[in-house]
Chain A
Amino acid sequence: MHPAPSIILFTTLSGLGFGLMAFLTLGFPPVTGWIAFIFYGLAYALAGVGLILSTFHLGHPERALKAFTQWRSSWLSREAWGAVGTLVLVGLCAVPAVFADFRVYTLGLPAAALALWTVYATSMIYTQIKSVPRWHHSSTPILFLAHAIAGGALLAGQISLAAPLLLVLGLIQIWAWQSGDRRLAQSGTTLVTATGLGSGGDVRAFEPPHTGSNYLLTEMVHVVGRRHAMKLRIFGFGFMVLLPWLILVALPFHHALAALAILSHCAGALICRWLFFAEAEHVVGLYYGERGAGK
């Protein structure tokens, strides 16, 4: 799939922001006053910038409010409601904490749950797509939630929690990559099922319908990423998991080092999210002779 920068930034940043909100509203750390202002400000900046970026890939962003109407059937619509609901509910926690040094304990759990549910709704936009077998699997929501929870713990300064959570995220990421590599083959969709021509012999794409490119090819048959996928996986894993984990575990706590760990994690998470899109194979590529011949 085409790795659109606006979607990669949106899903990564808003995931981190909602993860941080979950920790703050639960009282990890139990901040009030100026410190709460900075923490909640960072969470709102991440989630808000992400949501604004998400409108950049729309053909008609001026009609974006219509996306709230189909929550009964559409995960994208549910995500929109979840995001707005989270921003309101977390705001009800943040305003008293910042301005009255008062923490609203009763709202903490619902706010945190809604923040994580929003991340789940984001992941379901991709999980529901059967035509991209790599995404159509339980590992997708688990991976998105692990990203948000581990990143949120790191941003919230919960070192004793963040270190093991980073390792858990790393294991889930490896599982998602390993199992994902086999999923197109396991899906059973091939050039033979796509064309129904298998009974006549081996099927090979002979000629595409047009000499140039088209929307389908640029949007869904992106292949650039796969050439360097292994190298990028190693970089992504190193920056997202290994480097921040080493900083947390092996080095004494210092604000500059913590900032380095966070920046490294964010850079690694962006690389991994880029791969999430660039490596995903859409079955329409079969019609264009991608992924080989059908027997």
Chain B
Amino acid sequence: MTSLPETTETRLGLVIDLDICVGCHACVTACKGWNTENYGAPLADKNAYGADPVGSFLNRVHSYEVTPDDGPAQLVHFPKSCLHCTDAPCVTVCPTGASYKRVEDGIVLVNEADCIGCGLCAWACPYGAREMDPVEKVMKKCTLCVDRIYNDNLPEEDRVPACVRTCPTGARAFGDLGDPESAVSKSVAARGGFDLMPEQGTAPVNKYLPPRPRDEAIDVLGPLLDPVAEEPTGFLKWLDTTLEKLG
């Protein structure tokens, strides 16, 4: 069970476009909502209205500031969830077989009935993709909405992960990254999609698309604010020179 499959039939995953994401956290909310009402133990919050609220989330959005050598700093919003790694270190450390990677589509899942809540898989994950539920005391992680993507009871457009379905800017795409002809694979090839922490040797399925370089002249209103007259004239000139004299 906790050995990794040699190959998987498909490699389902997400492609996240850091150029488009505006950091609205709608994917976080949609994920929390769907995964609290459906598959597995609900994603709990503790002390939600108190001084020190904590809760389990399967997707979180960081924000980073990138400052080029010449030019203004750029803010990059950075959603992060399970990358469904090909060589998932979280799976092989599991002592009970609760963690596994599916042969049919490569999704990494937790069988919550077998999870003893030891937390070792969360330690093994370099990305912080796994969180212990504070109430159920079992390990929670992104399921790639396995209960949506194959769900015939849903309209076809809803058979994608909740985060992808809800993203208002289209910064998240879902598909088979094992198929070079899929839309997600093509966008990765075209945009130079990359892995997070490649040196950790996890071979993530999810890819990130880099922010595009900013245009040179993005400041369209700035030129309109230039002083109309460099040197004052009339009363202002008199005021200027008088004030200069006062020192």
Chain A interface residues (CB < 8 Å from chain B): 1, 57-61, 63-64, 66-70, 72-77, 80, 125, 128-132, 187-189, 191, 193-197, 199-210, 212-216, 219-220, 282-284, 287-288
Residue on B nearest A196 in the bound complex, by CB: B194
Answer whether A206 and B126 are a contact pair too, CB < 8 Å, given A189-B199, A287-B80.
no
Cβ–Cβ contact A212 & B52, under 8 A: yes
Cβ–Cβ contact B196 & A66, under 8 A: no
Cβ–Cβ contact A130 & B196, under 8 A: no
Residue on B nearest A295 in the bound complex, by CB: B67
Apart from A69-B95, A201-B73, what are 4 other A-B pairs with CB-CB below 8 Å?
A: A72-B2, A196-B196, A203-B66, A288-B62
Report B-chain residues with C-beta under 8 Å of the C-beta of A69: 1, 95-97
Cβ–Cβ contact A197 & B210, under 8 A: yes
Report A-chain residues with C-beta under 8 Å of the C-beta of B97: 66, 69-70
Question: Is residue B86 within 8 Å, beta carbon to beta carbon, of the partner chain?
Answer: no
Question: From DSSP, what is the main secondary structure of chain A's interface residues?
Answer: mixed
Cβ–Cβ contact B199 & A187, under 8 A: yes
Cβ–Cβ contact B64 & A204, under 8 A: yes
Cβ–Cβ contact B28 & A220, under 8 A: no
Report A-chain residues with C-beta under 8 Å of the C-beta of B167: none
Report B-chain residues with C-beta under 8 Å of the C-beta of A214: 54-55, 57, 60, 131
Report B-chain residues with C-beta under 8 Å of the C-beta of A216: 122, 128, 131
User: A75 contacts which of B28, B52, B93, B122 (Cβ < 8 Å)?
Assistant: B93
Tally of chain B residues near chain A (CB < 8 A): 68
Report A-chain residues with C-beta under 8 Å of the C-beta of B134: 215
How many whole Å from A60's CB to the nearest CB in chain B?
5
How many whole Å from B101's CB to the nearest CB in chain A?
12
Cβ–Cβ contact B116 & A63, under 8 A: yes
Answer whether A193 and B198 are a contact pair too, CB < 8 Å, given A59-B137, A287-B80.
yes
Cβ–Cβ contact A76 & B95, under 8 A: yes
Cβ–Cβ contact A76 & B126, under 8 A: no
Report A-chain residues with C-beta under 8 Å of the C-beta of B61: 209
Cβ–Cβ contact B210 & A207, under 8 A: no
Cβ–Cβ contact B93 & A129, under 8 A: yes
Question: Is residue B189 within 8 Å, beta carbon to beta carbon, of the partner chain?
Answer: no
B111-127 vs A, CB cutoff 8 Å, 1 = contact: the mask equals 00011111110111111
Cβ–Cβ contact A59 & B128, under 8 A: no
Report B-chain residues with C-beta under 8 Å of the C-beta of A191: 64
Report A-chain residues with C-beta under 8 Å of the C-beta of B67: 201-202, 204
Question: Is residue B164 within 8 Å, beta carbon to beta carbon, of the partner chain?
Answer: no
Cβ–Cβ contact A197 & B76, under 8 A: yes
How many whole Å from B115's CB to the nearest CB in chain A?
7
Cβ–Cβ contact B132 & A206, under 8 A: no
Cβ–Cβ contact B126 & A284, under 8 A: yes
Answer whether A283 and B116 are a contact pair too, CB < 8 Å, given A197-B64, A197-B210, A206-B75.
no
Question: Is residue B3 within 8 Å, beta carbon to beta carbon, of the partner chain?
Answer: yes
Question: Is residue B74 within 8 Å, beta carbon to beta carbon, of the partner chain?
Answer: yes
Report A-chain residues with C-beta under 8 Å of the C-beta of B200: 130-131, 189, 283
B78-117 vs A, CB cutoff 8 Å, 1 = contact: the mask equals 1010000000010011111110000000000000001111
Report B-chain residues with C-beta under 8 Å of the C-beta of A57: 118-119
Q: How far is the CA of A200 from the CA of B76 in the complex (A)?
A: 11
Report A-chain residues with C-beta under 8 Å of the C-beta of B137: 59-60
Report A-chain residues with C-beta under 8 Å of the C-beta of B219: none
